[in-house]
Amino acid sequence: MTARIGVDVGGTRLKLGWIRDGDVCGRSVVGVGPDARSAAGLVSVLAAEVDAMQHRFGAVQSVGLGVAGVLSSDGRRVLQSPNLPWLDGVALVDTLQSAIALPVAADNDANCVGWGEAMVGAGAGAPRQVCLALGTGTGGSLVLDGRLLRGERGRGVELGHLCVHPGGPACGCGGRGCLEQYASQTGIDRMLRGLGVSDGENAAFRVRRAFDQPEHPAHAAAINAAGRALGVAMAVFSRWLDVPLYVLAGGLAAGADQLRPALDAALWREGVDPDAIEIRVGTLGVDAGTIGAALLADAPRGAARLS
Ligand SMILES: [Zn+2]
């Protein structure tokens, strides 16, 4: 029986989960207030929260962090975090480890979602899989031969910034026509507004309404464009790495059935038989990130050396 704590370190809040054998037994959420808006402040808030959780639910063997940003390939240092800029360059793992006297591991938040689903969620046990986290933006991760792919500088696979439409709309990453411009809340809302659907209080409201009322032609057009973009991206991965399993996570995964017709048609058009790949909706819901972070301790690190 192994108990671990997983933390989703976001720009506005820290979500903690006390996890035993892949199940969440306790949760806590704390806002990132002014006192946590420095590296030392954040570490001290994290240490206090870990301490409080251990008092409440029991001692743990390790702590895992899923951080919104780019981490070094060994996961020990935050290289760049647009939402938590005070962590740029900070050796977060070693600093927290000294503060709490427990082993700490960290990775990019999208990698944690994918790792959670791969270990104990919809992709459990499959050695090759892609997870696409469809939320405000589009996150993604790739597990290849049982390993989470992290890349040379820890940038991982950045699936949301795979170009699915050359010359398409400009993306915050500097590219154009990225998957995120279509298959995310921000992307679907961008298309809705382009089709004249700009009423409603915010993007989340408009996108939710689009999925609730798909008979509206503009809603259907935006949903189909998102599905098409996902199909193009999956065809690339299917051809390139022969990945047989795709897990859709994040808030928009609930609309998977509505995305499927355009997604499958795009796969056919790209020469991939939709029946040759499997698409599953994530089963861990909003806990995927904390579960995956907690299970980082079991993730193989490093690569075999070529000699
Ligand atoms: Zn991009």
Give per-residue pLDDT as tens, 92-101: 999 999 999 9
Q: Which residues span the domain enclosing 155?
A: 125-283
Q: Are residues 147 and 228 in the same domain?
A: yes
35 within domain boundaries: yes
Closest CA to 75 of 95, 91, 55: 91
Q: What is the CATH number of the domain that holds 255?
A: 3.30.420.40
Q: Are residues 237 and 190 part of one domain?
A: yes
Judge if 222 and 90 occupy the same domain: no
CA-closest candidate to residue 3, choices 54, 38, 45:
54
For residue 176, how far is its CA from the centre of ligand 1 (angstroms)? 6
Asked whether residue 119 is assigned to any structural domain, the reply reads no
266-280 pLDDT per residue, tens? 999 999 999 999 999
Q: From ligand 1's centre to the CA of 168, what distance in Å? A: 10
Q: How many folded domains does the chain comprise?
A: 2
Q: In terms of domains, do 83 and 144 share one?
A: no
| 45 Cα–ligand 1 center, Å | 32
CA pair distance 16, 28, nearest whole angstrom: 5
Same structural domain, 58 and 101: yes
Gap from CA of 174 to ligand 1 centroid (Å): 6
More confident residue, 298 or 295: 295
Residues 63-92: what's their mean pLDDT? 91
Same domain for 89 and 176?
A: no
Residue 305: inside a domain, yes or no?
no
Q: Report residue 165's pLDDT band, with 50, 70 and 90 as the boundaries.
A: very high
Q: Where residue 152 falls among pLDDT bands split at 50, 70, 90?
A: confident
Residue 190 covered by a domain? yes
The band of 305, judged by pLDDT with boundaries at 50, 70 and 90, is: low
**25 closest CA partner among 51, 49, 60, 75:** 60
Pairing of strands 147-148, 138-144: antiparallel
Phi-psi region of 146 (alpha: psi -120 to 50; beta: other; left: phi over 0): left
- 294 located within any domain: yes
The token pair at 226 is 């998102």
pLDDT at position 69 is 86
Q: Which residues pair with 119 in a beta bridge?
A: none
Q: Residue 34 domain-assigned?
A: yes
What pLDDT is stored for residue 188 in this prediction?
A: 98
* Residue found under tokens 């037994």: 25
Q: How confident is the model at residue 175 (pLDDT cuts 50, 70, 90)?
A: very high
Report the C-alpha gap between 247 and 3 in whole angstroms: 26
Residue 188 sits in the same domain as residue 267: yes
Do 21 and 97 share a domain, yes or no? yes
**Mean pLDDT of the 258-272 span:** 97
Position 83 scores a pLDDT of 85
Give residue for tokens 């903690």: 16
